[in-house]
Structure 1
């Protein structure tokens, strides 16, 4: 009886402890926000191109954003890309390693690059191709032809043709203004439905500057996107944001750049927090944030030497970023847990200019040269990974990647190299996430190791590699 009583006592003590342990594990895992399949796809893409195309590409003038937001184009039929070739567009960005390509279906003029039934200011109104052209259709078809995922940018914040500024018709307190706003909201919802339903699965929809939700007097776009596109990156409005702007248009983010955020949308609400300290929260994210929302880094290819051109202009080739600058951009975006969006713009012929095509190809080749063939690689679970090299080998760069399907677990790490029999520190950091790329002072090592100093759960490293270039 004593043995039975003792056994019963042990069981009663063990069962609650086991249950508590399981519950504690659940709680620990619950605090790690996990990416959706669309967010995983977005981060795995690493490189994205956004094509800017609009009426003012054909006016022969320098692009002036403030002017174009408020001044209608006097003649819609200046739009005449006689050599339009969207296959050439997509081939060119694919050479750079781009996995997702986005097209501005509408931008600041309000002109729609497709056959809209709700927006009369569209390709139906052109003489070009007898009013039957559909560049969105051509673009999506070219993406699928070359294995690049298509996305669409919908600019509803500005519309110089209708006089819309910052989502709103001019406010004068009259019924006329109220009716015009209702018409515009309905048109934006209609364009969203057309673009989300006609072109198959899309990887991303991008509303420039966000989109005022109905609670702010704007269009109710989110339910329409969610009806037709179940696995899309939605960027963004006051109701939902799947990614966030990285705080600048430099093509880089600061370090660390966590993929988590304290609230589920990035603009329109919580602006006091977001705009504080020069967008600091957007730039760094929040390692303790409850929502998964990775940062994107965007910059125009023609943004060098004081220029910042999203749209083609004549005689502007000198402002294409040099290859060295693009590689720094790559390290400061993809190498810091962010997806790089590079702005490219077709010219008035309907082609990407030769100089842009050349630089995109060079960019892709240089990425491959540096990172396609590591000197050594290892992966695994736990707080320490180590690899031996065949001999004393000079290295100058390293890559680390977490299995972000499990969330961002690592909070602090150190990389060490064995130099003449002694371990020396090569790099330290905090955030790893999807990818951490870092250049180090060139050094000869016989082995390298990654030590995770702090993590929220068991670290799962999918790649730890070293390079020489």
Structure 2
């Protein structure tokens, strides 16, 4: 079957929740990860950030512990972002963390720390590069020098850049042990697919690490019945949750992962305090799972190497909810039942999880489940919940009902009831 979920994807579709980490030189100006492009900074204007990059508070073990406590099962960190600066000790460039006051391979430290906590390892690699001499400058859609007349006649050797880019990907896949996810970013306009020698790149990657999970941003049509080799393993909607689960042209579900920021920027932005609430994050995670997807939630550490305290507080609150309710997330996916008015369903086999957001008036209605529920429990503490038909529900013979003694829900963020269904 086209687009079938092969064995190497099973962990990804089981774990559901990951941490995205955007970090680099842009943490110093603290105006977001696109600062060089948006402000059209020259290489000379950006260079001081390279010379002073010294994250003295960088402790990836603290990051890993925060991710684990939040219930995150995998992480993806920027090995190289669009500005071309490498957090790893690439042998193909001098534009790397080991040549800054940081003085060490920051990716190796990340990998070691997260592995120690049992968290799967992902690496983000931008196929765009605003630092490399042979990446298109003038006239490119997003290069900082796109409108700078000094670069009109600048000669480039794009094949040389591709050799460099492929070489760095090979370094990342051969120098750090098993890598679970390679997260490329991003194709645009005619800079897509074989422009990157994408089939050659993916063939090389699969030869080195056959089980690696790759996103879809090299290009190609993942929704096609016969997607290209470089179309990737999963779809990657950004800063939005799809209205429904993502399917291919034959109507078959595709793996997907929504990447979402905690505030309004990926990289550290000191003036951005528009943080999402723990409730928003939790309900967003539930929505992803209820539609067959994952949530990759971003943090942007500051120039000293610290995850902002607002982010840590949110992650801690999410973790407290996950401590009680993770069984409704891990290993779960969509239910065939329609979305209920009071919240959402997730399901794992014959265990149906009712995520109740709205107490409403009267009993909670499980439409179409009369006679199909073996037992019901409050997932947070295992309390038995009686499934019964109230005297005034005689007009709804196909529906099952539960009642709460209080006018308020036990958990106003998301009260989860585990329903064990009778096997057909």
Normalised to the residue count of structure 2, the TM-score between the two structures is 0.70
SS at match of 1:331: helix
| Alpha-carbon contact 1:51-1:346 (below 8 Å) kept | yes
Q: Report the counterpart of residue 181 of structure 1 in structure 2.
A: 158
Give me the whole-angstrom Cα distance separating, in 2, the residues matched to 1:397 and 1:216. 42
Gaps of 5+ in 2: 220-229, 351-365, 371-387, 405-416
Query: In structure 2, which of residues 174, 188, 197 is the aligned counterpart of residue 197 of structure 1?
Result: 174
| Alpha-carbon contact 1:416-1:424 (below 8 Å) kept | no
Give me the whole-angstrom Cα distance separating, in 2, the residues matched to 1:40 and 1:102. 18
| Alpha-carbon contact 2:82-2:126 (below 8 Å) kept | yes
Task: Confirm or deny that 1:87 pairs with 2:61.
Answer: yes
Post-superposition CA distance 1:344-371 (Å, at most 9, x none)? 1111211212221121010121233345
| Alpha-carbon contact 2:52-2:100 (below 8 Å) kept | no
1:397 positional shift: 6.3
Task: Confirm or deny that 1:311 pairs with 2:267.
Answer: yes
1:313 positional shift: 2.0
Q: Report the counterpart of residue 287 of structure 1 in structure 2.
A: 251
Is the strand fraction higher in 1 or 2? Answer: 1
Q: Report the counterpart of residue 108 of structure 2 in structure 1.
A: 137
Q: 1:329 to 1:124 in 2, by over 3 A?
A: same
Give me the whole-angstrom Cα distance separating, in 2, the residues matched to 1:192 and 1:167. 22
Q: Report the counterpart of residue 59 of structure 1 in structure 2.
A: 29
**Deviates further, 320-329 or 146-155:** 320-329
Normalised to the residue count of structure 1, the TM-score between the two structures is 0.63
| Alpha-carbon contact 1:167-1:218 (below 8 Å) kept | no
1:229 positional shift: 1.0
1:60 positional shift: 4.2
Give me the whole-angstrom Cα distance separating, in 2, the residues matched to 1:200 and 1:426. 52
Query: In structure 2, which of residues 95, 115, 118 is the aligned counterpart of residue 121 of structure 1?
Result: 95
Q: Report the counterpart of residue 444 of structure 1 in structure 2.
A: 403
Give me the whole-angstrom Cα distance separating, in 1, the residues matched to 2:302 and 2:73. 22
Q: 1:135 to 1:424 in 2, by over 3 A?
A: farther
Query: In structure 2, which of residues 1, 5, 10 is the aligned counterpart of residue 40 of structure 1?
Result: 10
| Alpha-carbon contact 1:68-1:109 (below 8 Å) kept | no
The 5 A counterparts of 1:222-237 are 222-236=202-216, 237=218
The 5 A counterparts of 1:276-425 are 287-288=251-252, 293-302=254-263, 308-316=264-272, 318-370=273-325, 372=327, 398-401=345-348, 415-417=368-370, 418-420=388-390, 424=397
Q: What do you get for the CA RMSD once the two structures are aligned?
A: 3.6
Task: Confirm or deny that 1:465 pairs with 2:398.
Answer: no
Task: Confirm or deny that 1:209 pairs with 2:153.
Answer: no
1:57 positional shift: 0.2
Is the helix fraction higher in 1 or 2? Answer: 1
Give me the whole-angstrom Cα distance separating, in 2, the residues matched to 1:249 and 1:419. 42
Give me the whole-angstrom Cα distance separating, in 2, the residues matched to 1:54 and 1:94. 23
Tell me how many residue pairs correspond in the alignment: 338
Q: Report the counterpart of residue 239 of structure 2 in structure 1.
A: 249
SS at match of 2:302: coil
1:95 positional shift: 1.2
| Alpha-carbon contact 1:110-1:159 (below 8 Å) kept | yes
Greater Rg over alpha carbons, structure: 1
| Alpha-carbon contact 1:81-1:349 (below 8 Å) kept | yes
1:74 positional shift: 2.5
Give me the whole-angstrom Cα distance separating, in 1, the residues matched to 2:120 and 2:390. 48
Give me the whole-angstrom Cα distance separating, in 1, the residues matched to 2:207 and 2:291. 33
Query: In structure 2, which of residues 241, 248, 256 is the aligned counterpart of residue 261 of structure 1?
Result: 248
Q: 1:363 to 1:400 in 2, by over 3 A?
A: same
Post-superposition CA distance 1:313-368 (Å, at most 9, x none)? 2253x322111211221222122210001011111211212221121010121233
SS at match of 1:221: helix
Gaps of 5+ in 1: 1-29, 263-285, 303-307, 385-394, 404-412, 428-441, 446-463
Give me the whole-angstrom Cα distance separating, in 1, the residues matched to 2:33 and 2:161. 26
Q: Report the counterpart of residue 223 of structure 2 in structure 1.
A: none
| Alpha-carbon contact 2:19-2:296 (below 8 Å) kept | yes
SS at match of 2:123: strand
Give me the whole-angstrom Cα distance separating, in 2, the residues matched to 1:48 and 1:367. 13
1:465 positional shift: 3.3
